[in-house]
Each structure stands twice: as C-alpha cells, then as structure tokens.
Amino acid sequence: MGGGLRPQLDSFLAENETDLIAFRRDLHMHPELGFAEHRTTARLIEALTAAGLRPQRLPKGTGLICEVGNGDGPVVGLRADIDALPLTDEKDVAYRSTVPGVCHACGHDVHTTILLGVGRFFARQAAAGLVPGKVRLIFQPAEETPGGALDVLAAGGIAGVDRVFALHCDPRLEVGRLGLRVGPITAACDKVNVRVAGPGGHTARPHLTADLVYALAKIVTELPAALSRRVDPRSSLSLVWGRVSAGSVANAIPDDGIAQGTVRCLDDEAWHSAPELMKTLLDSVASAYDVKAELDYVRGVPPTVNERTSVEMFRTAVEAVIGEDGAAGTPQSLGGEDFGWYLESIPGALARLGVATPGMAGAYDLHRGTFDVDERSIGVGVRIMVATALTALWESRRASAAEPIGEPAA
C-alpha cells in the first residue's frame, strides 16, 4: 500500500476533519427520509463539485454516483446510505434535528460524511496521478425503506465494479475499531401472508365443512416445524407468526382465515429457496385438511454475505492505517441491510465502524431518538475506506497482471 499513506491521511485530516464534522452536523440537523433526500443530495453535489469531481444524480432525483481516479484500471465501489428515520430526535445537542419526527438515528449522516471525505482525498490524489484505478463513490438513497439499493443497481451503479465496500456505525464498538465478519453479517427478513379458505358451517357438523380453524392452527404450528426440518439448521431460517385471525362466533366454522408472519434467514441459498419450499409445505398441510391455502411471500432484503477476500482487504487496511488492534470480530445481526443486494451481484463486504466513546460502548443504540456518535469515528472511517479502496485496487492490478501467464488465482 505504500508507506506514504498514513502521513498523507494525517495531513488530509488535519486540514479537513473539522469541516467534515461540520458537514455531518449540518446533515444531522436536516435529516430526510428515503427518496426525499433532495437537500442532502444537493449539499453533496456542491461539496464534490467543489473538490473538482463530477457527481451524477440518480434517475429518481436523490442519491448520486461519483467516480474519481486514473486510467482504465480496476474499479472499486464504496457505498454510503444517505437517508434518515421517521423518529423524533431526543438529544440535547446543538446539532439536533430541526425536522420534526425525522432523525439520523442509524448513523447514515456519518456514512455519508465519511464517503465525502474519501472523495475529497482521492480527488487530490488523482490530480497527482496517485490512484491505481478508479474509485466509484455510491451515495445511495432510501436504505431504510428498502429499494434504494435496487435503484442504484438498475441505474448501472455497479457496472464494471470489481468489489464493493460499505461501513455501518456500531454503537457497541469503541471508536478506532472495525468489526469484521466473513460470511453473513446481516439477515434476510421477508413477510408471509397465508390465506386459507373452505366451506364454513355449523360447528356440529365439521365433517360436512372444512374445519378451517383447525386447519389454520395446523398450518400455523406445522409450517415452522416442517421448515426447520427441511433446511440446513446453520441457515437459521425461521418463520414466526405475528398475526392469526379467523372466525367471529363460537359455534360457526368460518370460511376463511389468515396468518401473517416474518421469515428471517442468515444464509443466501436458503433465502433463495424459501418461497418455493414454503409453498410446497403449505400445500401439503392444507390438502390434508381439505382447505385451500394461498401464499403471498413478500421479499425484503437478502442477507449481506461478506466475501472472505474482501474482509481480508478491510483487515489489511485497518492494520495499515489504524493499527494491529483496530480489527475486531463482530456477531451476525438479525437485522436487515439492503447492501445485501449489491453482494448478490459482486463480491464485497460490510464492516461495523466503532462509534462509541471509549468506556461508553453500548450506551446508545441504533434506531433510537437518543443515538449519537463519537465524531472521531468520521476520521477513522475516512482512513479505513481510503486504505481499503487502495488495497482492493492494488490487489486487482496484481491479479490481472498475473492472468496472461496463466497463473491460477491463489
């Protein structure tokens, strides 16, 4: 990576850190919900253009893509999400949200600011011919209302990108540390709606009707049990019902009923096979009780499955610009993150950025109106993303240089 990187980052941050923190506070004071990030997008375009870059707004008007670098070498993607949450900011700070009921409670203002810092750093390096390829900055709208990632993909946002990386704030980890995990790091979360129907009637004559409430109860208990027997337990595919409803009086069998629940899953393959499997199991239980069952399976986000090589690139980067003990392990969360959509197409990794003030880990939580970060995490994030992008670019160049002589990739 070249021994000069650390001092280059030091001098860049000495000049820019205060301004980046001010940028984050400005975003924090003016949070915007998914697909409504017009002000945020305008501020970013202004700042990137001032750095000599040429940001391109995404087709729906919010979010943007901005490429920086030299030549036609490899391309590395870095993604930040820019949207806020429909929550009230409960903090007592000068930069508290000025928009009632909207708050950057997931740290996306921090992700966005870090990526702006990375863009400014590379703009300067590119002018000196020091970027061994291209870095594509992806400022994605609407992570919280899933859909933003799909818009980026539809707009060709990762076309030609070899690898993509993202950070997410982690209030359980201290500033200066990066949580890494190979394999799944966030979970899939889908919704299922089951509707059953059959001829109703008097409860004295269940044999002349379809005993619909009984059948629905069987479906509600047997479906999760059968699922757990049909998929690898390591995928942690689980179906949990949140609503079951049928009938209105004690002595009449209703002619329809519903069950609604969520499916969570840690494994990509199991996630892909879940709807088909669920349908097969549902049909077999329903037919045994002679009721008709319809399944409406609503896809959420896929699990984010980190590629091993990409995680190693994060680790190499952290050790180079933060230090040996910068890298930490991190557990898989059962939350969803739409970065998983990118990793369905290209390799990459999501890492957890420590944002807790030392000694305060776990004091705040994401998606709470009290959430805040130690702003030193912005500088740390810039260092890590710059070093990770360079590691990935150098690695791609090395790998493609090896190809013509037919060396197998290690």
Taking the complex as a whole, the smallest distance from the CB of residue 169 to Zn ion amounts, in Å, to 7
3-state secondary structure of 178: strand
**Site membership for Zn ion, residue 106 (CB under 5 A):** yes
End-to-end CA distance of the chain: 19
Binding mask 49-88 for Zn ion (x = CB under 5 A): ----------------------------------------
| In the complex, minimum distance from the CB of residue 106 to Zn ion, in angstroms, rounded to a whole number | 3
Q: Write out the DSSP string of 365-386.
A: -TTSTT----THHHHHHHHHHH
**Cα–Cα distance for residue pair 182/112, rounded to 1 Å:** 24
Tokens of 399: 């790998």
Judged by CB under 5 A, the stretch of 63-71, 100-108, 244-252, 354-362 that binds Zn ion is: 100-108
Q: Which stretch binds Zn ion (CB under 5 A): 48-56, 106-114, 147-155, 318-326?
A: 106-114
Q: Report, in Å, the least distance between residue 301 CB and Zn ion.
A: 11
Dihedral of the alpha carbons of 321, 327, 333, 336, in degrees to the nearest 10: 20
The pairing of strands 163-174 and 304-306 is: unpaired
Choice between 67 and 109, CB closer to Zn ion: 109
Applying CB under 5 A, the span of 10-18, 39-47, 98-106, 153-161 interacting with Zn ion comes to: 98-106
Binding mask 319-358 for Zn ion (x = CB under 5 A): ----------------------------------------
Does the protein bind Zn ion through residue 196 (CB under 5 A)?
A: no
**Euclidean distance between CA atoms 6 and 200, whole angstroms:** 74
Q: Rounded CA gap, 248 and 385, in Å?
A: 58
Closest C-alpha to 19, from 56, 65, 63, 50 = 50
Task: Give whichever of 75 and 380 is closer to Zn ion, judged by the CB atom.
Answer: 380
Q: Please report how close the Cβ of residue 168 comes to Zn ion at its closest, in angstroms.
A: 6
DSSP SS3 for 82: coil
Q: Which class for 172: exposed (0-12), middle (13-18), buried (19 or more C-beta within 10 A)?
A: middle
Q: How far apart are CA 203 and CA 111, in angstroms?
A: 59
If binding is defined by CB under 5 A, does position 47 make contact with Zn ion? Answer: no
Residue with Cβ nearer Zn ion (74 or 303): 303
Of 103-111, 234-242, 289-297, 339-347, the window that binds Zn ion (rule: CB under 5 A) is: 103-111
Question: Among candidates 75, 77, 145, which has minimal Cα distance to 108?
Answer: 145
Report the residue number whose CB is nearest to Zn ion. Answer: 106
274-295: string of b/e by CB count within 10 Å (b at 16+)? bbeebeebbeebbeebebebeb
* Closest distance of CB 305 from Zn ion, Å: 17
> What is the rounded CA–CA span in Å between residue 365 and residue 105?
9
> Nearest distance from residue 229's CB to Zn ion, in Å?
33
Are the CB atoms for 219 and 194 separated by under 8 Å?
Answer: yes
Stretch that binds Zn ion, among 29-37, 64-72, 99-107, 342-350 (CB under 5 A): 99-107
Give 194 or 356: the residue with its C-beta nearer to Zn ion. 356
State in angstroms the smallest separation of the CB of 283 from Zn ion.
36
Minimum CB distance to Zn ion, residue 193 (Å): 24
Quick one: 57 or 352, whose CB is closer to Zn ion?
352
Give the nearest distance from C-beta 160 to Zn ion in angstroms.
26
Residues in contact with Zn ion by the rule CB under 5 A: 106
